[in-house]
């Protein structure tokens, strides 16, 4: 464990924690612009977090410790996820603790705890949200794993850092399998991050909520942590996508200069990705909950096709 | 007493168990004596068994011949690493379950406690016998003892007709399976008339007969393990049995079938064929998917767990199938990886499933309800059981950093590291199979959220639930032991894989022990740059950010909390009945996997005075397979019945005709 490794790891965590709300704000801003609305400030998510942390937390009378602990667990899981995904550097001392499969497990852990917490109060909306969240989870998880598998076949490794190293050092060959995987990954990320065709982060209708329904009973600091965790999740997914499909600019081991350069590159890539996300969200309409299985099954099939194409062509 | 072999100590434990059982018979109705003294003694013996098996893990095979049974047919016993592994699983699980049982059995539960004690310890002893047996005779005797003792345990509450029916079904399937196993041994001994396993190992059968033997073994052991289509007894017998018994059956007895399958296919048969593995893989996956989909729509908590056991057995069998494929192609390292995944799952499933069954036992005792629709909110009156069950739930859902995830991780790795089987069809299919495994795992998460959320979270759906009491000290002891096991398996995969290294060396002549030792604290069977998983760091990472977030929030802001009624979007008329029910939680699954089910729905119309919603879900295999077979048997019986006229003249005529036919045959 070198000094470089430790510092790149720390830099990555701090960058993730600080940039994640910014990314959410950026996407929100672009969404508003594209829909001809006047946009909130880029710093709005930070103001929201600040405000929520200041407020006292109102808990339901019979809320159990699970309800109070879940936001911290979700936040912890997402922080660890951001620490593992190579966003700035591939020399990460924490990365060996979890490969791509364990990363999927990490997201699942957070999801299970948030869903359980939503069921804890025993309101109709909470349990409904938990059911829907788990529904989307079990549909999206295999598709996500398939995407990661098809990229891991190229590098013969499920370790994210090795995957990124292999993918960034290859010649500019075209992997047709990777294109399918990219489409599938986009669809899965939309579903997992409660984005428009599946869920609407700006909805006010309780009956159509998924993610928002889960956190209806939260307030104050707990809500702030959950909001932060949600933007960290979006950040982590964006970074996984960027690392797998646009891996250039991520610093390798022992390259301090590249590490310094990696941050602006990441910000640029994220900015472009955020605009693309806002465009996708603007151009699509939210679908009924029972269309979601079809949507995610399509993603799953795309990923499987990508995998088979890769095996057939002998990538 | 250094010259005592491990095997001798195991036999001492078995003898002591039988003794404990016999003492129980002499104290038939003295509940306190049986529960507070005999069951803990049995638990201590199980712990001793665990220790002996642990010590026997690395040592070479030990044999013994017991002069019991028929004069010329002694029992041959053999303790090798495979047996030692399963003894370890039996010992560890039984220790927890026995301690729990000490506080569980109550007065007036049908079979008197002393008799239960005998059946229970006989059941444990026979399971040990099954994994020790080294000839077909001893194996079948032990196997049948196990089936019979567990049958009597299942029907402990024999005054209830459904329980008798469930027990009968169990006995029937167990015996159909036992016949297949007997025939399998018949094929394996290859007309030599010597039924010892040593002789079977020495025979090399033709591929045709070897395949027959393998198919019979899959059928026979599959009936015990609950492979598709022979799974129907599981969801009936598990809810019928008392909870400690369901725990033992689901956690350990199903594993003896896995043991048998491993013993026959890797040890007794001299070489595997690749399509055996492929068939087993397909069967295991179908079972896993079927089990988890059905688990997700159950409304009875023990039935839900029974279907979840079917799912887990399916995953284990799929891993065994994959190991067979690799072994057939002489890819020993990969076979070892898949087999390690299977064994890991055997151990972790034994621990978390017994934990979950014991949890349902505590809930059942506290509330008298098995129906999920009448539970809810128990976390507030039974916090201890709830937290302990939560560990089991997380392990069962295959979430890191617990044991279930390690097994899944290893299994997925073995699917991924197929750098090229010489069979292109398999090569294409195996990654898709990995996707199905991922789907099963994710669905298991869904099911477990339903299980825990509906029982322990939310508001109590019945008034009486508020008076539920937490588990007693004995129950807590037993469950704590199992929780500790789940956590150890989750956090220390490297030592455990090193421990079971001799087993894979024995079966596929390769092990992961050295490979995992090289990477130290990380689990990296093929090198850190290929794949790695470090549960301790994983846990510490989450815990550290948890703690930091908590501290920083308090430091920078405040820790004020106000308690108020639930907000529920400002809807003040909410009540416990408006929460999602178990049926509601299963609804998306019912809709998505509709072809799987046979459903009868009663939907209310808008004009109903008392609207009523009802949905019944039946196992389609009853209608596709069992009822037609039953009808066929009935028809044949009716034809045979035509012979039975009940008049003596007719019977005399039968004898007369038979005599004439025989005379004609002899005279020719």
CA A137 to CA A246: how far, in whole Å?
26
Contact yes or no for A76 and B428 at CB 8 A: no
Q: Does B550 touch chain A (CB under 8 A)?
A: yes
Q: How many angstroms separate the CA atoms of B316 and A58, rounded? A: 46
- For A142-169, the pLDDT digits (tens) are 899 889 888 888 888 888 888 888 888 7
Q: For A19-33, B84-98, B166-180, B190-204, which range has the lowest pLDDT when averaged over its residues?
A: B190-204
Q: Return d(Cα B351, Cα B125) in angstroms, integer.
A: 19
Interchain contact, B449 vs A216, CB within 8 Å:
no
The answer to whether the CB of B344 falls within 8 A of the CB of B407 is: yes
β-pair partners for B65:
B76
Contact B46, B55 (CB under 8 A): no
pLDDT over 50 at B302, yes or no: yes
Percent of chain A with pLDDT over 90: 41
User: Taking CB atoms and an 8 Å cutoff, what residues of chain A touch B428?
Assistant: 308, 311-312
Nearest-by-Cβ selection for A216 from B567, B591, B592: B567
Q: Look at B302-311, B518-527, B600-609 and tell me which has the smallest mean pLDDT.
A: B518-527
Q: Is B442 exposed, middle or buried (0-12, 13-18, 19+ CB in 10 A)?
A: buried
Averaged pLDDT for residues A63-75: 92
Per residue in B96-126, pLDDT (tens digit) is 999 998 888 776 667 788 888 899 999 999 9
Which residues of chain A are within 8 Å of residue B522 when distances are taken between CB atoms? 96-97
Residue B598, classed as helix, strand or coil, is strand
A223 band by pLDDT with thresholds 50, 70 and 90: very high
Report how far residue B493's alpha carbon sits from residue A115's, in angstroms, rounded to the nearest whole number: 28
Check residue B1 and give its pLDDT: 46
Q: Which has the minimum average pLDDT: A210-214, B62-66, B526-530?
A: B526-530
- Joined together, the tokens standing for residue B514 give 């050295």
Gap between the Cα atoms of B42 and B117, Å rounded: 9
* Chain A partners within 8 Å of B397 (Cβ): 108, 112
**Which residues from chain B sit within 8 angstroms of residue A222, using beta carbons?**
none
**Going by DSSP bridges, is the β-strand pair B561-564/A57-60 parallel, antiparallel, or unpaired?**
parallel
Instruction: Please give the angle made by the CA atoms of B574, B579 and B580, to the nearest 5 degrees.
Output: 150
* CA nearest to B599, candidates B612, B587, B617: B617
Considering only CB atoms, B445 lies closest to which of A53, A108, A125, namely A108
Residues A134, B449: C-beta atoms closer than 8 Å: yes
What 3-state DSSP class applies to B75? strand
Q: Which residues in chain B are closer than 8 Å to A101, comparing Cβ atoms?
A: 408-409, 412-413, 531, 533
**Cβ A112–B566 below 8 Å, yes or no?**
no
Suggest the residue from B545, B547, B595 to mutate for an interface test with chain A (most A CBs closer than 10 A): B545
- The predicted pLDDT at position B105 comes to 78
The yes-or-no verdict on residue B484 having pLDDT over 90 is: yes
Tell me: the pLDDT tens digits for B326-336? 898 888 888 89
User: B457–A119: do the CB atoms touch at under 8 Å?
Assistant: yes
Overall average pLDDT of the B13-24 stretch: 90
The whole-angstrom separation of Cα B118 and Cα B525 is: 44
Tell me what the pLDDT averaged over chain A comes to.
88
First to last CA, chain A: 34
Mean pLDDT, residues B549-562 taken together: 87
Backbone φ and ψ for B65, nearest 5 degrees, come out as -125, 120
Using the beta-carbon criterion (under 8 Å), do B580 and A137 form an inter-chain contact?
no
Token pair, residue B271, equals 């070489």
**Inter-chain residue contact A112 with B544, CB threshold 8 Å:** no
- Judging contacts by C-beta atoms under 8 Å, the chain A residues touching residue B379 are 64, 66, 120
Please name the residue of chain B whose CA is at the shortest distance from the CA of residue A164: B529
Q: Tell me which of A93, A95, A96, A311 to substitute to probe the interface with B (most B C-beta atoms closer than 10 Å).
A: A96
Distance (Å) from the alpha carbon of A118 to chain B's nearest alpha carbon: 9
pLDDT of residue B92: 93
Contact residues on chain B for A311, CB-CB shorter than 8 A = 427-428, 431
| CA distances in angstroms from B432 to A146, A185, A311, B292, B489, listed in the order given | 8, 17, 11, 18, 28
Residues 185-244, chain B, touching A (beta carbon < 8 A): none
Q: Output the pLDDT for position A314.
A: 64
The shortest C-alpha distance from A281 to chain B (Å) reads 25
Q: What is the pLDDT of residue B429?
A: 78
Q: Output the CA–CA distances (angstroms, integers) from residue B42 to B50, B88, B256, B475, B484, in the order listed.
A: 12, 15, 20, 15, 20
In the DSSP assignment, the letter for residue B196 is B
Given B376, B537, B560, which is nearest A97 (Cβ)? Answer: B537
Q: Which residue has the tokens 């209830």?
A: B160
Query: B343: closest CA among B512, B533, B129, B132?
Result: B512
Looking at the complex, report in whole angstroms how far the Cα of residue A44 sits from the nearest Cα belonging to chain B: 19
Quick check: B170 and B117 in contact, CB under 8 A? no
Of A57, A80, A157, Cβ closest to residue B529: A157
Residue B104 C-alpha, separation from nearest chain A C-alpha, in angstroms: 27
Chain B residues 476-535 with CB within 8 Å of chain A: 522, 524, 528-534
Inform me whether the pLDDT recorded for A315 exceeds 70.
no
Specify which residues B615 forms β-bridges with.
B601
3-state SS, chain A, equals CCHHHHHHHHHHHHHHHHHHHHHHHHHHHHHHHHCCCCCCCCCHHHHHHHHHHHCCEEEECCCCHHHHHHHHHHHHHHHHHHHHCCCCECCCCCHHHECHHHHHHHHHHHHHHHHHHHHHCCCHHHHHHHHHHHHHHHHHHHHHHHHHHHHHHHHCCCCHHHHHHHHHHCCCCCCHHHHHHHHHHHHHHHHHCCCCCCCCCCCCCHHHCCHHHHCCCCCHHHHHHHHHHHHHHHHHHHHHHHHHHCCCCCECCCCHHHHHHHHHHHHHHHHHHHHHHHHHHHHCCCCCHHHHHHHHHHHHHHHHHHHHHHHHHCC
Q: Residue B577: list chain A partners with CB under 8 A.
A: none
pLDDT digits (tens, 9 = 90+) for B273-298: 888 988 999 999 999 999 999 999 99
Cis peptide before B401 (omega within 30 of 0): yes
Most confident of the ranges A157-171, B65-79, B480-494: B480-494
Interface check for B451 against chain A (CB to CB < 8 A): the answer is: no
B383: nearest CA in chain A?
A64
> Does B552 touch chain A if contact means CB atoms closer than 8 Å?
no
Q: Residue B2: is its pLDDT beyond 60?
A: no
Q: Which one of A72, A128, A303 has the shortest CB-CB distance to B546?
A: A72
Residues of chain A with pLDDT > 70: what percent? Answer: 97
Is the minimum CB–CB distance between B429 and chain A shorter than 8 Å?
Answer: no
Q: Which of B393, B437, B542 to mutate to test the interface with A (most CBs of A within 10 A)?
A: B542
3-state SS class at B370:
coil
pLDDT in tens, A80-125: 999 999 888 888 888 888 888 899 999 999 999 999 999 998 888 8
Q: Which two tokens stand for residue B220?
A: 């026979």
């Amino acid at each position: 464990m070198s000094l470089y490794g430790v510092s790149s790891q720390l830099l990555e965590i701090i960058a993730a924690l600080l940039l994640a709300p910014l990314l959410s704000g950026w996407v929100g801003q672009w969404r508003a612009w594209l829909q001809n609305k006047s946009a909130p400030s880029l710093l709005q998510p930070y103001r929201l977090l600040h405000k929520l942390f200041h407020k006292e937390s109102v808990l339901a009378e019979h809320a159990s410790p699970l309800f109070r602990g879940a936001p911290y667990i979700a936040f912890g899981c997402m922080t660890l996820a951001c620490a593992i995904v190579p966003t700035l550097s591939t020399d990460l001392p924490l990365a060996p603790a979890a490969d791509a499969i364990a990363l999927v497990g990490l997201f699942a852990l957070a999801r299970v705890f948030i869903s359980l917490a939503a069921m804890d109060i025993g309101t109709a909306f909470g349990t409904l949200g938990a059911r829907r969240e788990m529904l989307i989870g079990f549909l999206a998880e295999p598709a996500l794993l398939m995407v990661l598998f098809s990229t891991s076949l190229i590098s013969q490794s499920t370790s994210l850092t090795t995957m990124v190293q292999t993918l960034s050092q290859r010649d500019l060959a075209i992997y047709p399998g990777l294109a399918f995987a990219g489409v599938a990954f986009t669809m899965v990320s939309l579903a997992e991050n409660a984005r428009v065709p599946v869920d609407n982060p700006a909805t006010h209708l309780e009956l159509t909520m998924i993610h928002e329904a889960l956190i209806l009973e939260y307030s104050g600091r707990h809500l702030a942590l959950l909001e932060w965790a949600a933007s960290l999740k979006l950040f982590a997914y964006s970074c996984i996508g960027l690392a797998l499909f646009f891996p250039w600019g991520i610093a390798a081991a022992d390259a301090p200069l590249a590490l310094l350069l990696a941050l602006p590159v990441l910000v640029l890539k994220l900015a472009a990705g955020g605009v693309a996300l806002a465009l996708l969200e603007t151009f699509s309409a939210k679908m009924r909950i029972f269309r979601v299985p079809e949507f995610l099954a399509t993603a799953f099939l795309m990923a499987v096709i990508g995998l088979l194409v890769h095996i057939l062509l002998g990538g | 007493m250094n010259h005592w072999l491990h095997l001798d100590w195991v036999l001492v434990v078995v003898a002591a168990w039988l003794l404990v059982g016999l003492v129980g018979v002499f104290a038939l109705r003295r509940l306190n004596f049986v529960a507070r003294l005999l069951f803990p003694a049995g638990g201590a013996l199980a712990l001793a068994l665990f220790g002996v098996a642990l010590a026997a893990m690395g040592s070479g095979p030990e044999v013994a011949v017991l002069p019991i049974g028929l004069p010329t047919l002694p029992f041959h016993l053999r303790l090798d690493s495979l047996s030692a592994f399963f003894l370890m699983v039996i010992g560890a699980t039984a220790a927890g379950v026995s301690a729990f049982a000490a506080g569980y059995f109550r007065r007036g539960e049908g079979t008197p406690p002393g008799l239960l004690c005998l059946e229970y310890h006989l059941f444990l002893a026979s399971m040990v016998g099954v994994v020790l047996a080294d000839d077909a005779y001893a194996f079948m005797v032990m196997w049948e003892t196990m089936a019979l003792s567990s049958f009597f345990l299942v029907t402990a509450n024999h005054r209830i007709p459904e329980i008798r029916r469930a027990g009968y079904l169990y006995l029937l399937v167990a015996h159909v399976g036992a016949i297949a196993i007997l025939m399998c041994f018949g094929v394996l001994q290859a007309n030599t008339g010597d039924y010892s396993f040593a002789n079977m190992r020495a025979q090399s059968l033709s591929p045709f007969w070897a395949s027959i033997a393998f198919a019979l073994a899959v059928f026979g052991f599959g009936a015990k393990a609950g492979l598709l289509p022979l799974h129907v007894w599981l969801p009936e017998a598990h809810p019928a049995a008392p909870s400690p018994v369901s725990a033992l059956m689901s956690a350990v007895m199903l594993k003896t079938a896995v043991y048998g399958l491993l013993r026959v296919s890797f040890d007794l048969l001299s070489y595997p064929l690749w399509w055996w593995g492929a068939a087993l893989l397909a069967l295991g996956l179908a079972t896993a998917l079927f089990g988890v989909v059905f688990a997700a729509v159950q409304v009875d908590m023990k039935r839900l767990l029974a279907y979840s056991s079917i799912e887990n057995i399916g995953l284990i069998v799929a891993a065994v199938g994959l190991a067979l494929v690799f072994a057939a192609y002489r890819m020993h390292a990969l076979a070892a990886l898949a087999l390690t995944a299977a064994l890991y799952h055997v151990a972790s499933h034994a621990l978390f499933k017994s934990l979950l069954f014991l949890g349902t036992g505590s809930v059942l005792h506290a509330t008298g309800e098995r129906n999920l629709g009448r539970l809810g909110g128990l976390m507030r009156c039974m916090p201890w059981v709830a937290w302990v069950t939560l560990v089991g739930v997380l392990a069962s859902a295959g979430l890191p950093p617990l044991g279930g995830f390690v097994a899944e991780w290893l299994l997925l790795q073995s699917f991924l590291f197929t750098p090229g089987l010489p069979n292109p069809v398999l090569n294409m299919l195996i990654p898709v199979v990995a996707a199905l495994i991922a789907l099963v795992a994710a669905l298991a998460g869904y099911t477990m959220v339903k299980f825990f959320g509906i029982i322990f979270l939310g508001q109590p759906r019945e008034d009486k639930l508020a008076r539920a009491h937490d588990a007693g000290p004995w129950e807590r002891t037993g469950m704590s032991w199992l929780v500790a096991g789940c956590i150890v398996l989750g956090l220390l995969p490297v030592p455990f894989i090193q421990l079971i290294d001799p087993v894979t060396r024995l079966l596929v002549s390769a092990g992961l022990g050295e490979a995992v030792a090289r990477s130290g604290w990380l689990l990296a069977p093929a090198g850190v740059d290929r794949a790695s998983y470090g549960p301790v760091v994983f846990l510490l990472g989450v815990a550290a950010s948890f703690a930091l977030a908590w501290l920083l929030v308090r430091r920078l802001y405040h820790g004020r909390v106000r308690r108020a009624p639930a907000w529920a979007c400002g809807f003040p008329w909410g009540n416990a009945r408006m929460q999602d029910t178990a049926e509601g939680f299963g609804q998306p699954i019912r809709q998505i996997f509709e072809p799987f089910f046979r459903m009868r729905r009663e939907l209310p119309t808008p004009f109903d005075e008392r609207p009523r919603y009802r949905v019944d879900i039946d196992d389609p295999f009853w209608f596709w397979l069992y009822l037609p077979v039953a009808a066929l048997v009935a028809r044949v019986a009716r034809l045979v019945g035509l012979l039975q006229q009940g008049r003596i003249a007719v019977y005399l005529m039968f004898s007369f005709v038979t005599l004439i036919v025989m005379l004609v045959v002899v005279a020719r």
